[in-house]
Chains A and B, each alone.
Chain A
Amino acid sequence: MSYAYLFKYIIIGDTGVGKSCLLLQFTDKRFQPVHDLTIGVEFGARMITIDSKQIKLQIWDTAGQEAFRSITRSYYRGAAGALLVYDITRRETFNHLTTWLEDARQHSNSNMVIMLIGNKSDLDSRREVRREEGEAFAREHGLVFMETSAKTAANVEEAFINTAKEIYEKIQEGVFDINNEANGIKIGPQHSPTSPGGLAGTGGQGSAQGGGCC
């Protein structure tokens, strides 16, 4: 199926916060209460529409266990968006956010859009992290924030789509170099870019470095 853009996402966060369930809810619109442990990374994809453009989201669901950090770090590369998930009923998953954020910032490209997600909002009675705390954390670190429930599907669509909108806006603003696939954005088959040549494009330190000779 043709698309205008392909965005690569990763989902990160502690084990058991519901990363795989969020992905399943978004891609398959269903909830699976007992989920096998994610080992390494899993993959999901879905087509969405923004600004009447077809956008394919390619989503990498990572294992939350410390043991697999070494593997998931490889997947930070070339991600345009990240969903950083914690569980509102488990305080420690919120406390670990800083570590996750450092890891993500260190291994991904600086323009990556990060969405902070407090999952399991259906379990309000067992809530340990107040909504305001999530908002404050997001504000402090320049993230977008949302509480979701993979079980009831509340805000799940929005979380994925708003992240995509943010990326789309960044493309429009020219923040993302869409010709560089390392940014996690791929232009669809019908939009093949023209490759620049000459002194400006290939010469010296390259166009980005030698600086607009033309």
Chain B
Amino acid sequence: MSREYADENKGCARVYPCERVNMISGIQIALKNAIDVIAPPVTPLQDFIYHWKQLMNFYVSHLTDCKVPVQNTSIPRHLDVLLDILLQEEKEENEPGPCLEYLLQHKLLDLLATLASAETPPGMRTVCLAFLRKFLGRSIYPLLHHTSIYAPIQRLVALCNGNPPSPIEAEEIQFLLTICYLACKYPHVTNIINDAPIVQAVSNPTKKDNERTEIQRVTYVPTRKRINSNPLFEPLDTQAITLINPNLFDKERRKLPRSNHVFKTTVSDPGHLSRRSNESVSSREESVSSSPLAQKSVCDSPLLNTKSSEQWEEKDGGDSSGNKIDEHLQNLRDLRLDTDCNAYEDAGYVASDNQSLKSPNKMPEKSKCLLLDALLSYLNSADNTVRIRACEGIMALASLKDPSFAQTTARSELPSIVSTRLENLFNAIPAHVDHLDIYNVDVTWGLDSPLWTQEKKFPGCRQVAAFFMWYDYCDRLIREAQMELAETLARTIRVVFFERIVTPALADHHVILITALVAKCLKVTTSSILCTEVSYWLVGQDRDPEIPNVWTSPVLHRLIENCFTDSNDLTVETLKLFEEALDKRNEHILHCLVLIYLSTRAYYDNTAADSAITSWSDEEDEREKDKKGTLDLSYEQNYSRTLAPSNIHRVINCFLSLMPRYLQTDPDVNNFDKYMPAWEQQYTSALSDCALMAWPLEAVMVDDSASSDSRPEADHCSGRFYMGPFLSMLFDKISNMPRQTYEINLEVMGLILRLALLPHPYLHEFLLNPLLPLIPGTKSLFLCLQKVVKQLVSEIPKTPENKIMLAETRQRLLSSCPQEEEKEDILCESAVVTEELCKELAGIAYVKYHHSV
């Protein structure tokens, strides 16, 4: 019992008979170190073995009582020395040295994993995880493929579980991240670490490495089966369950195929008992034979002669302790073996075993990834850092360039866990949050934006920030993940979050806040894959045009209805959402919202073409004729004549002269130059964003043969032009400008300008060419604006002092600092907005012209 300390103290144990006085171990180590300095062991290997034996001695002397916290024992220090020796050896040798060999050969990590599982002494798990993290993280050798390394690592990974919260989760997550790092650094071990499904390993003929497949088959089945077959069997609780009720454990254990001899210490199969005993014997022989060597080096030192008797005694102790270690470990094993043996008699074993052997393809569960599942369990940790570390590990695994692993992760629980968390955080946002606060929330998922979760910028700020941090993580994860996983993630988020949660919420009490949140989501989405899924949610997946008053996309339907409620706030927020949608410059969104309705040019009045062309220049007349014959050639031009009509000055004049002088308030009339630089910049980015959308270069009538589409309902040739629900709504809003609040008008203006900026020829001419001949009865932007101006002209002069009012309104609206509430006048405000809108449109028309010549 007391040999361990006798060993180390070299006599001191007699002075301090009470070995469990905590401070003793410190003195012991100090003494031992002193001795080591005076008489260093002969070789690093001997030193290594010596420290290992010392470490094991603890268990021999504490067979029944392991209540001493690990920090009060000598274990951590021995492990530190072992680590130092290993790393030093790597530095000095060009190939794996004897210490590393010893570690592999004698399965030291296996023993450590067993001790960590058993948490003997208390805190041992933390110490072991830290040791392994440092050792594996620093080692220059790819060690993970060794059976004696990955088997214990797998067991330890399975032990790490953040649900329920573990007191040592910080250390656990560091350990897991190190394993992630190794899995990414040496992708060939990914499957070993992640417990790839046996089905895949067997059915995949490309796996040439038979040996590896064999290893996988042998190693993975136990763990996977164990985890899958019973939800009760959580990795962290393995030990607890075993200790509390061993039989509970057995029920799982007996399902294990018999070939799991790799798990030597988590003995589950009595068939290997004898084999294991043999190994124990052999390792004992090793330890016996090596032990005297280590001791001898110490006693060779002449300075220690006086203590030689004690050392010889110690040597004996070493031998006997070696036996005791193995005995003890054997006991640890037998503890579980006994119950296994009983369980083995159970007839159920055969049945379940057979079943699993007969139908390996009938795995009802999703494929499991040991490491990924462990990381996922920390996603709900209360500790922000632990949570983010788990996110980092998941991201590293998701980005791993290994197609079969990407497939495995796509089928894992990752997508649903990530989406469910998004849903939960969304639901946690209090309903009283002011929708105006949402826009300025700027957070990222990483450790670099902790401020929002701590600060109280507005009520509910923390929940809003938590939601957007997670949304940012989803977005980034999808960006970084391999294609298959990325697509699955994005699709799951659409279905679980947007369709199931957000869609119904767009009709409930808090729709204003919900709309603001969705608009913000759109704004912060950077991943094109996620953006595509969100676009499917927003406008539907169908790319055909809608028929008037027949709604096929429920979300778009709802949003457009929300623009026509009594609530100005809801209108503004919904328009903002559309603004974000347009800003995504997503082909599908633009197509479904606007372009599909214009693509047949059904708004264009063919019969008026002749008269129209007289209003154009002669060159354009020629061009018009040319193009009909040589449609293909127009694609080879790199600039568009549609966007650069030679009558540009007439176009610009139309916009600039729309507002009568006496209603204009800008002293610098007709000067739209100041808008140019900003639009230049905007247009350049629009051009590059839309470059790959395969839009036509020119607006020309497409031949009937070419446009013969398979959509009878989209029969635009009948002359009925439908601009689609979105443009219809916008034009309604434009027409209504004199009666709408300034905020709504601003949003409407923003949307129109965004559309006008796009380099799409049909959209361009439809919005920006007031001279275009239109089918009679077709609404156009210019016609709407004309009506607005007409109304303003008839009503504003009726109000007293309207000139001053207009000037004051302009002053108020355009000054950058909000002033005290002055008298607001919707008519005057509308006049100012209309005037600005006309000038902006003229500016955009000119910038586009300029770019196309």
Contacts and interface: CB of A to CB of B under 8 A. Distances in A.
Nearest to B391: A71
B836 A196 contact: no
Nearest to A199: B813
A209 B814 CA distance: 14
Given A71-B396, A75-B446, A211 B814 contact: no
A65 B181 CA distance: 8
- Most central of A34, A201, A204 by chain B CB within 10 Å: A204
Interface in A149-205: 181-182, 194, 196-205
B480 A67 contact: no
A40 B177 contact: yes
A181 B455 CA distance: 15
Contacts of B178: 37, 39
11 contacts: A39-B137, A43-B448, A65-B181, A66-B184, A67-B181, A70-B395, A198-B813, A198-B815, A210-B753, A211-B676, A214-B816
B677 A67 contact: no
Given A204-B750, A210-B675, A65 B185 contact: yes
A74 interface: yes
B47 interface: no
Is chain B's binding surface mostly helix, strand, loop or mixed?
A: helix
Contacts of A199: 746, 813-814, 832-833, 836
A135 to B, nearest CB: 31
A198 B818 contact: yes
A209 B754 CA distance: 11
**Closest 3 A/B residue pairs (Cβ):** A67-B184, A211-B678, A70-B399
Contacts of A210: 675, 678, 753, 836, 840
A29 interface: no
Contacts of B181: 37, 39, 63, 65, 67-68
Contacts of A65: 181, 184-185
B138 interface: yes
Contacts of B180: 39, 67
Interface residues of A, number: 44
A120 to B, nearest CB: 17
A41 interface: yes
Nearest to B130: A36
A39 B177 contact: yes
B137 A181 contact: no
B142 to A, nearest CB: 13
Contact of B396 (A68, A203, A204, A207): A68
A109 interface: no
Contacts of A200: 814-816
Contacts of B542: none
A211 B677 CA distance: 8
Contacts of B816: 196-198, 200-201, 207, 214
B817 A196 contact: yes
A78 B184 contact: no
Interface in A15-60: 34, 36-37, 39-41, 43, 58, 60
Contacts of B679: 209, 211
Interface string B178-219: 101100110000000000000000000000000000000000
Contacts, number: 137
A37 B138 contact: yes
A43 B446 CA distance: 11
B814 A213 contact: yes
A110 to B, nearest CB: 12
A36 B137 CA distance: 8
A203 B746 contact: yes
B677 A77 contact: no
B732 interface: no
B81 to A, nearest CB: 14
A141 interface: no
A74 B833 CA distance: 40
Contacts of A207: 816
Contacts of A198: 812-818
A207 B817 CA distance: 13
B519 to A, nearest CB: 14
Given A199-B746, A209-B678, A41 B447 contact: yes
B96 to A, nearest CB: 19
B134 A204 contact: no
B836 A197 contact: no
Given A37-B137, A204-B749, A214 B184 contact: no
Contact of B836 (A69, A78, A213): A213
Contacts of B814: 198-200, 213-214
B689 to A, nearest CB: 14
Contacts of B389: 39-40
- Most central of A43, A210, A214 by chain B CB within 10 Å: A210
Nearest to A208: B678
B442 interface: yes
B448 A58 contact: yes
A197 to B, nearest CB: 4
Nearest to B176: A39
Nearest to B184: A67
A181 B442 contact: yes
B174 interface: yes
B476 A74 contact: yes
Contacts of A203: 746, 749-750, 813, 833, 836
A12 to B, nearest CB: 14
Contacts of A214: 814-816
Nearest to A182: B442
Interface string B372-395: 000000000000000011001101
B444 interface: yes
A68 to B, nearest CB: 6
